Amino acid sequence: MKVSFFETVRYVSPQPLPSEWPAPSGAYDPAAGSAAYRGMLERLEYVEELGFDWVSVSEHHYSPRILTPSPIVTAAFIAARLRRITIALLGPIVPHSNPVRVAEELAMLDTLTQGRLVVGLLRGTANEALTYDLNPQEARERTDEGMELILKAWTEPRPFGWQGRHFQYRMVSIWPRPLQQPHPPTYALGTSRESCEFAARHRLGCGVSYGPFEVMAKATRYYREACARHGWTPKPEQIVYRANMLVADTDDEAHALLKAQPNRAPFEMRKGVRDAVSALDARNIAGEARTAVVTGALPTTFIGSPDTVVEQVRRCREVVGAGVLDLSLHPPGSNEVEPLMRALELFGRKVLPRIRDL
Amino acid sequence: MSAPLVLLRGAGEPSPAAGHTLLSRRVRVVPLESPAPAAAPESILRAIEQLGLPTFSLLASGSMSGTALRVAVTAPERIDAIVLETPTAIDEEPAMRELATPTLLLYGTRDPATPAVGRRLAGILPNAHLVFVYDAGATIAADRPEAFAEVAGDFLERHEAFVISRSTTVIHP
């Protein structure tokens, strides 16, 4: 089992912030932001020392919750400071990006990091369509086309034009190309049938997140079946499961911490907006419809003492089939950095060495 | 204004696809059925001359692409531009390396078999342009008619300058 630390850049606000997304930009405190990024570096040096395989960064906008609107900038900065750890860029939000630019930047990053890059490509959470004025109804199609264009830009040796539905280029010929050939290990992130099919067709990995094991297993099973239809079998490390983990000295302590967590959606939109976006942005798990917007806190699927968590990881490995765990270790309900550092230490000492060989 | 476009078809090939019909709104399309893929270029050129077309562009699909290229190297001075849809299995001739005629090579992204030919052709023909039509198979003009007609029409009109965008990003002036 490979283990990845999901870095969100802890921003500790000096004042209470409204929960609605987007957070007002004027409430941002530059000094708190500066401390958050400094804290990120210190934390990641520790993460590397503890022996994590990957550090992952993601793309989210207009919110203090995950302070990395540009994951590529974050990844480049981290990569320059850390020596061994693999940088997992999970990932650029494809539908509102320029896919050629993404292909160029990732190729550059792969080369700058001497091949320490893995990439996840995704549609993004429902609120992200609003960030750059994207029609939510077109998000799925733009994601599929954009991902295909990124792969083509990485691998096509001749200058080429792209006559797409949503993207058009008459001349593409990127320099540099990725160091890892034909391209960095790449995952299509998402539980949808479309995402799994895409991954299977292009021999990519698959990434699922946050849902209970049995539910995520529907998607990973669908993915493996789709791969079989395309005549290949994915390796365990081609399935990533991102989840919240709440590890404490005892089960009781962990559950008490979870109880203290406010049941707040990660990117809570005004009701009229939320309902309208949900209606336009169809989502599914291996073909079964699900709502586009998370209305409560994301589930914490690993919770308890180190012993309990190790057992849960074992079950996850069996049920979901994931060979990589991408963990958000931040204790819910706290904005402080200290509890995260304690959780990190506990995980690093008492859990990480025991799940390596699962 | 684009030169008339001779749509070179093999005997018994299906009727022109939706993309060819769309293209005929931008350029005069003259279908011409060749008796066999191996027909002599001279006889094809004579037939086109009899149609009253001193200069023209060529459009061909699949295995007819080789025929179109042989016609082009036989009388390059008469050919304005060439569009090849999913060209397959081309017998390379030395004269092709000298062919200055602007040539568009179209492949669908759902057609895994042929881009290798396209890459080779793009390396041989000095003025070739390789374009992938997203989500099309080998029959691009049928699979993505609008996309096919737009890129082929633009290329026939502007040749290699079709790489310069004419689309506007102005939303409200």
Please give, one letter per residue, the 3-state secondary structure of chain B. CCCCEEEEEECCCCCCCHHHHHHCCCCCEEEEEECCCCCCHHHHHHHHHHCCCCCEEEEEECCHHHHHHHHHHHCHHHEEEEEEECCCCCCCCHHHHHCCCCEEEEEECCCCCCHHHHHHHHHHCCCEEEEEECCCCCCHHHHCHHHHHHHHHHHHHHHHHHHCCCCCCCCCC
Asked whether residue B39 carries a pLDDT value surpassing 90, the answer given is no
A140 three-class SS: helix
Chain A residues with CB-CB distance to B106 below 8 A: 163
Closest residue to B147, CB basis, from A149, A156, A163: A163
Per-residue model confidence (pLDDT) at position B91: 85
Tokens in use for A158?
Answer: 């001749």
Closest residue to A163, CB basis, from B118, B133, B167: B133
Q: Which range has the worst mean pLDDT, A53-57, A118-122, A259-263?
A: A259-263
Distance from CA of B119 to the nearest CA of A (A): 7
Nearest one of A140, A189, A187, A196 to A166, comparing CA atoms: A140
Mean pLDDT of all residues in B41-51: 94
Asked whether residue B113 carries a pLDDT value surpassing 80, the answer given is no
Per-residue model confidence (pLDDT) at position B137: 96
**CA angle, A78 then A2 then A125, to 5°:** 65
| B118-152 confidence digits (pLDDT tens) | 999 999 999 999 999 999 999 999 999 999 999 99
Chain-chain contact of A158 with B165 (C-beta, under 8 angstroms): no
- Give the pLDDT band of residue A265 (cuts 50, 70, 90): confident
Asked whether residue B115 carries a pLDDT value surpassing 90, the answer given is no
Distance from CA of A167 to the nearest CA of B (A): 9
Nearest residue on chain A to B151, alpha-carbon basis? A163
Mean pLDDT of all residues in A69-94: 96
What are the residues of chain B with a beta carbon less than 8 Å away from any beta carbon of chain A?
Answer: 106, 109, 115, 118-119, 122-123, 129-135, 144, 147-148, 150-151, 162-165, 167
Per 3-state DSSP, chain A is made up of helix, strand and coil in percentages (nearest 5) of 45, 20, 40
Mutation target to probe the B interface, by most B beta carbons within 10 A, among A94, A142, A158 is A158
Mean pLDDT of all residues in B78-107: 94
Nearest one of B21, B164, B148 to B86, comparing CA atoms: B148
Mutation target to probe the B interface, by most B beta carbons within 10 A, among A155, A170, A202 is A170
Tokens in use for A221?
Answer: 């099973």
Per-residue model confidence (pLDDT) at position A239: 98
Q: What pTM value is reported for the model?
A: 0.96
Closest residue to B130, CB basis, from A158, A167, A168: A158
Closest residue to B132, CB basis, from A157, A162, A165: A162
> CB distance from A132 to chain B under 8 Å?
no
Share of chain B above pLDDT 90, in %: 83
Q: How many other C-beta atoms are found inside a 10 Å radius of the C-beta of residue A37?
A: 15
Distance CA A68, CA A79 (A): 15
> CB distance from A201 to chain B under 8 Å?
no
Distance CA A234, CA A241 (A): 15
Average model confidence (pLDDT) across chain A: 94
Chain-chain contact of B109 with A165 (C-beta, under 8 angstroms): no
Chain A residues with CB-CB distance to B118 below 8 A: 158
User: How many interchain CB pairs under 8 A, A with B?
Assistant: 53
Amino acid identity at A212: P
Query: Do B68 and B84 contact (CB within 8 A), yes or no?
Result: yes
- Give the pLDDT band of residue A263 (cuts 50, 70, 90): confident
Asked whether residue A77 carries a pLDDT value surpassing 70, the answer given is yes
Asked whether residue A162 carries a pLDDT value surpassing 80, the answer given is yes
Per-residue model confidence (pLDDT) at position B37: 63
CA atoms within 13 A on the CB side of B141: 23
Share of chain A above pLDDT 70, in %: 99
> CB distance from A171 to chain B under 8 Å?
yes
> CB distance from A145 to chain B under 8 Å?
yes
Closest residue to B134, CB basis, from A158, A159, A162: A162
| A295-351 confidence digits (pLDDT tens) | 888 899 999 999 999 999 999 999 999 999 999 998 766 678 888 899 999 999 999
Chain-chain contact of B130 with A157 (C-beta, under 8 angstroms): no
For A124-214, strand residue ranges (E) read 160-163, 168-172, 186-189, 205-209
**CA angle, A332 then A335 then A339, to 5°:** 70
Nearest residue on chain B to A165, alpha-carbon basis? B134
Mean pLDDT of all residues in A242-268: 91
Per-residue model confidence (pLDDT) at position B34: 83
Mean pLDDT of all residues in A17-30: 95
Chain centre distance of CA A337: 21
> CB distance from A202 to chain B under 8 Å?
no
Per-residue model confidence (pLDDT) at position A333: 66
